[in-house]
Amino acid sequence: MSTATYNVTHETLYEYSAEVVHAHHLLHLVPRAMEHQACSDQQIRISPEPSGNEDAIDAFGNPLQRLEFTRPHQRLSVTSEMKVEVRERRTSAAPSEAWERARNRLFYTARPPGDEQLEALRYRVESPYVRIKQAFTEYAADCFPAGRPLLTAADALMMKLYREMKYTPGVTNISTPLLQVLQEKRGVCQDYAHLMIACLRARGLAARYVSGYLRTTPRAGAPQLVGADASHAWVAVFCPPLGWVEFDPTNGVRAGLDHIAIAWGRDFGDVSPLRGVILGGGSHTLTVKVHVEKLPVGIATGDGTH
């Protein structure tokens, strides 16, 4: 099974026009441990030193850090450095169910749902940044003819967004309504992911938002993937009997060795790398830098594997 090992550096810098006298922050910067991914080493440097620093697990099973700052400061720097090994995701030759059957699995019945269905249900309903609208159902109608396997339909939807959307940094932000994104068909990876999730949930299907990174340097002869050198986002779809399958609509590919996952949730709001509440601070500027370096084959990951 193919593997790739990466060094990842994620730098976040907030500079405030006035002193922040008290702050609470949540960090999603520790990669989630999964069958196809393992983090062998990580350091997170924070300046100024937080007054409180607590490790936790959020409602979706992601590693989380809670920070509190009780001393005045006008600058907050958070740098995460990690070494991550990514393995090929397991694939099955078995076909996925028809999308209608997969949807019907998530309907309410008198029988208690199984563990897989219960987990999927939380990603079937609308969330703060992904509202369910008829417009999303209509936009994706050609991807979901009757009886089409869900995996095939999700691939078709991914490629529709890849072809029709234009990657355009700076034209949207987290508050841009998703219906506006659909109308203008411009945005960044966050918008691609939210729009694909909205189209799936509008049909009663379960889809979750995955945050992470892309490799910075492409393979020989391959184009640079859109979203490298920054945090990236893609989509996981519940496709019985295959489980969760990941799609990157920004690049029109299934998630693979180039994708390093940090966390997943209903939408961006659940897995923002750093968010919080501050007292004071005035206006601020935010600078984010991400670098993903693929290590040569044979470099040890630190846990006995190579």
**Per-residue model confidence as pLDDT tens digits over 250-305:** 999 999 999 999 999 999 999 999 999 999 999 999 999 999 999 987 544 444 33
Q: For 171, left (φ over 0), alpha (ψ -120 to 50), or beta?
A: alpha
- The confidence score (pLDDT) of residue 156 equals 98
The edge-to-edge listing of strands for the beta sheet with 243-248 is 253-254, 243-248, 231-239, 207-214, 259-265
Domain 99-270, what fold?
C8orf32 fold (3.10.620)
Architecture of domain 3-87+273-294: Sandwich (2.60)
Q: Which segment of 79-93, 123-137, 173-187 scores lowest on mean pLDDT?
A: 79-93
In the chain, pLDDT over 70 holds for what percent of residues? 92
The three-point CA angle 188-190-194 to 5° equals: 120
How many CB atoms lie under 10 A from the CB of residue 18?
Answer: 12
Q: Which segment of 70-84, 101-115, 197-211 scores lowest on mean pLDDT?
A: 101-115
**Per-residue model confidence as pLDDT tens digits over 190-244:** 999 999 999 999 999 999 999 999 985 554 555 656 555 568 999 999 999 999 9
Query: Residue 181: exposed, middle, or buried by beta-carbon count in 10 A (0-12, 13-18, 19+)?
Result: buried
Secondary structure tally for the chain: helices H, strands E: 7, 14
Helix or strand or coil: residue 203? coil
Looking at the chain, which residues constitute the CATH 2.60.40.2250 domain(s)? 3-87+273-294
Looking at the chain, which residues constitute the CATH 3.10.620.30 domain(s)? 99-270
